[in-house]
Amino acid sequence: MPWNHCPPSRGIRSHLAQHLDVAARQRSTVLAWLPEMSQAAVFMLTRSAHLALLDGDADPTLEVPPARATDAAVAAWRALSALLGREEQARARLETSDPGVLGAALLALTPGAYRGRANLLGGIRLVPTGRMMVGGRDVYPGLLRAWAGRPEPRPAVPVSSAPLPALHPAAPRRAA
């Protein structure tokens, strides 16, 4: 598991906030300028929006617009688009929106500069992208469903390969 040094009660998102290199490698978050929202609020909003998209059979990464334009899917799409739209403001302030670059820069700071990091980073937030690549596979939809207590979807079985029910001929009737 990619969060092997973080107690499960702390959660994967807490782990990603503490290990920006992992967040960058998994392509699971970007940096955005959102001083009006706490990090917890950003996580809760994105989680709810990603669930709404998954429930509507839509892609939570926003790479493909929802095929079914339900009210929930449209609202989720708009909320995520607005949050991710603030990525450019983070890039303008930090010259990057990549959490891995920020993490490396923080590690290179002098102790004095590190103490003053809140002045520069006070409004920077991690915005989940709707994916979490682990071993070349996106595990985020499964984690999201597990958090929500929802079962994994069953793969569709093509009609042509679906097993046919066994035919049970009626038992012959005995003459009375």
Predicted local confidence at residue 58, as pLDDT: 87
Neighbours of 35 (CB within 10 A): 11
Predicted local confidence at residue 16, as pLDDT: 56
| Residues contacting 55, CB < 8 A, separation 6+ | 72
pLDDT along the chain (176 residues), means of 10: 41 55 74 96 94 88 82 92 95 92 89 86 92 86 86 63 47 51
Predicted local confidence at residue 1, as pLDDT: 38
Predicted local confidence at residue 127, as pLDDT: 94
| Residues contacting 27, CB < 8 A, separation 6+ | 129, 131, 132, 133
Q: Identify residue 141 by its one-letter amino acid code.
A: P
pTM: 0.73
Q: Identify residue 6 by its one-letter amino acid code.
A: C
| Residues contacting 79, CB < 8 A, separation 6+ | 45, 49
* Residue 115, token pair as written in the block: 């103490």
Q: Specify the DSSP class assigned to residue 77.
A: H
How many helices (H) and strands (E) are present in the chain, helices listed first? Answer: 9, 4
* Cβ–Cβ < 8 Å for 44, 126: no
Predicted local confidence at residue 50, as pLDDT: 94
Predicted local confidence at residue 171, as pLDDT: 47
